[in-house]
Amino acid sequence: MNFQLTEEQQLIEQSAHDFAKEYLDPITGQLDHTVEFPMAVVKELANHDFLGLHLPIEVGGAGAGFVSYVAVIEGLSRSCAAVASIMNNQAMASYAIQHWGSEVQKKQYVQALVKGETIGAFAIYEHGPTPGIGPDALVATKSDGGYALKGTKAYVRNAGVAAVYVVFAVTDPADPKSLTAFVVDAGVKGLRVGEALTTMGLKGCPVADVIFDNVTVPDTAVLGAVKSGGDVAARVLALASVAEAAQTVGIGQAAVEHAAVYAKQRVQFGKPVATLQPVQTLLAEAATDCYLARLGLRSTAQLVEDGKPFETEAAMVKSFLARLGSKILIDTCQVEGGMGYSETMPLPRLFRDIAGTTLLDAPADFPDYAIAASIA
């Protein structure tokens, strides 16, 4: 397998770096403190065709493929992982509707999501151990011509700014396998967004509970088939895991590059620490980790693009980077010393952001379970 990007993919990757330099670098520090949703930047993502990068041309996407999408997510994350997280959650919603939606649903939502006219969110998690279990589990009760949704979805990203939610509810409270996906407009009566959580990192990508108080939706709101929500969620979460692994690589690469530059400026024992062998070793190992992680990431993205099974590889990449990401930030912070710990430097923000990319969505229920199941 050739891990080198094609000429077209390299151009797309470069466009992401140019975009980040023009639109993200000037706001990244401010966004980390104001926590305001960067709507103007999301509009620019749409203007540059990034929001539809992963979707086929016939539905309004760019048709660039998943490898290019992952390269863009990594490139944006080097500057602002919060914006990449917003984009990834938008992509989860648009992919689900494009892949499983009816023609009416696709026409109503997909192009609006691609153009940035509509913000989307993917609401799968609950406060219980798994969707459908717990006192606040979202239950869809069949009624004449539709369903009544009652319960709460937890930790929904893009919550509050999203105009459409891909929501998962059980149709039978006694059967967790009755999970069903619905497309729900944010303005429907009975839907309420809870108070936004104060998160450690990825500031600017809002996270909150979404409460459904007997929200009535028609039968046409079902995404795919009734009781097929588990399959929808599993695939979308696996894709999201690959994209979030790309975020981790991008953040790690940014930390390595900043530490390498600062090491030439920081003087200890009468000379720049970049001349010291232990510092050189730390930087070399961190750069190597990013390089090897990127190879695994691109290999998995290529499986997706080729239409081959990729779920196990997605779990492996996610699990590997969950451990590696924090190590890269610890090592680069050591290189920068006391100043690296200061909020005047980017490493504290990168440290917080990388925690978000490694703790969030995972294929199956847990990455280790998915890996073990594949080799059992």
Q: Nearest CA to 32 among 81, 90, 75, 87?
A: 81
The answer to whether position 294 is within a domain reads: yes
DSSP states along 13-36: HHHHHHHIIIIITTTHHHHHHH--
Say whether pLDDT at 374 is over 50: no
b/e 269-280 (16+ beta carbons within 10 angstroms → b): eeeebbeeeebe
> What residue type is 300 in one-letter code?
T
Write down the pLDDT at residue 311.
93
Specify whether 261 is located in the same domain as 357: yes
56-104: per-residue pLDDT in tens? 998 889 999 999 999 999 999 999 999 999 999 999 999 999 999 999 9
Q: What is the pTM of this model?
A: 0.91
The answer to whether position 2 is within a domain reads: no
229-263 vs 81-100: helix axis angle to the nearest 10?
A: 160
Specify whether 217 is located in the same domain as 339: no
The pLDDT mean for the chain works out to 91
Write down the pLDDT at residue 376.
43
Query: Which H/E stretch holds residue 165?
Result: strand 164-170
Domain of 52 in residue numbering reads as 7-114
Specify whether 293 is located in the same domain as 304: yes
Specify whether 293 is located in the same domain as 369: yes
The number of folded domains in the chain is 3
Q: What is the mean pLDDT of residues 204-225?
A: 96
138-166: per-residue pLDDT in tens? 999 998 889 999 999 999 999 999 999 99
Write down the pLDDT at residue 170.
96
Backbone angles phi and psi of 165, in degrees to 5: -120, 135
Residue 343 confidence class, pLDDT cut points 50, 70, 90: confident
The answer to whether position 99 is within a domain reads: yes
Specify whether 68 is located in the same domain as 189: no
Q: What is the mean pLDDT of residues 19-30?
A: 95
Residue 371 confidence class, pLDDT cut points 50, 70, 90: very low
